[in-house]
């Protein structure tokens, strides 16, 4: 089951810009440890799901995981071998816009070493750099 909004006001969106730092979700709020983005970029629904699976497999039915990003931006693609023009392509995937400072995932109910290992495995699934943070650090 892929992450995507149930309904949106418009089917297609413009690219927009993702300059600046994250305005929301910059501190660990729900769990004890988190993964914080250091770069900017797009995270696809498939990448977010791959991270979730990697974290939950590492915990093997203990601990808790919170996903702090949601892919609500549609990205369109034109079919292969199509001539230029004839309008914008159909929506093909959903992405979450990530800016530096954003907490991507939070985990709780596990030791610091288990959390570090799980978030290290998850960070290998995404195209942006990230770091391990704990609730105690308010940098």
Query: Which of 2, 60, 6, 55 has its CA nearest to residue 31?
Result: 55
Q: Give a yes or no: residue 124 inside a domain.
A: yes
The number of beta carbons lying within 10 Å of the beta carbon of residue 79 is: 8
pLDDT at 1: 63
Residue 105 lies inside a defined structural domain of this protein: yes
With respect to residue 44, please indicate whether it lies within any of the assigned structural domains: yes
Q: Please, are residues 37 and 128 in contact by the beta-carbon 8 Å criterion?
A: yes
Instruction: Note whether 71 and 3 are within 8 A (CB).
Output: yes
Number of alpha helices (DSSP H) and beta strands (DSSP E) in the chain: 2, 7
**Which residue, among 98, 29, 94, has the nearest Cα to 69 in the 3D structure?**
98
State both tokens at 8: 């949106």
Is residue 87 a part of any domain in this protein?
no
Task: Look at residue 131 and give its three-state secondary structure.
Answer: strand
Angle between helices 112-123 and 45-59 (to 10 degrees): 150
- Count of domains in the chain? 1
Range of the structural domain that residue 122 is part of = 33-76+92-134
CATH of the domain at 43: 3.90.1170.10
Tell me, yes or no, whether 66 lies in a domain. yes
pLDDT for position 136: 79
Summarize pLDDT for 35-47 with one digit per residue, the tens.
999 999 999 999 9
Q: 52 lies in a domain?
A: yes
Q: What is the pLDDT of residues 56-81, one digit of tens each?
A: 999 998 999 999 999 999 999 999 99
pTM of the model: 0.92
Residues of the chain below pLDDT 70 = 1, 137-139
């Amino acid at each position: 089951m892929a992450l995507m909004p149930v309904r949106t006001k418009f089917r297609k969106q413009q690219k927009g810009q993702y300059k600046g730092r994250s305005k929301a979700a910059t501190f660990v709020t729900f769990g004890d440890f988190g993964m914080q983005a250091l770069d900017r970029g797009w995270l696809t629904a498939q990448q977010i799901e791959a991270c979730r699976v990697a974290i939950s497999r590492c915990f093997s039915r203990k601990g808790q995981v919170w996903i702090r990003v949601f892919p609500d931006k549609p990205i369109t693609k034109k079919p292969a071998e199509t001539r230029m023009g004839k309008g914008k392509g159909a929506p093909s995937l959903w992405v979450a816009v990530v800016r530096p400072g954003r907490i991507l995932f939070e985990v709780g109910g596990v030791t610091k070493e288990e959390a570090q290992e799980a978030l290290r495995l998850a960070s290998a699934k995404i195209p942006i750099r990230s770091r391990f943070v704990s609730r105690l650090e308010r940098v």
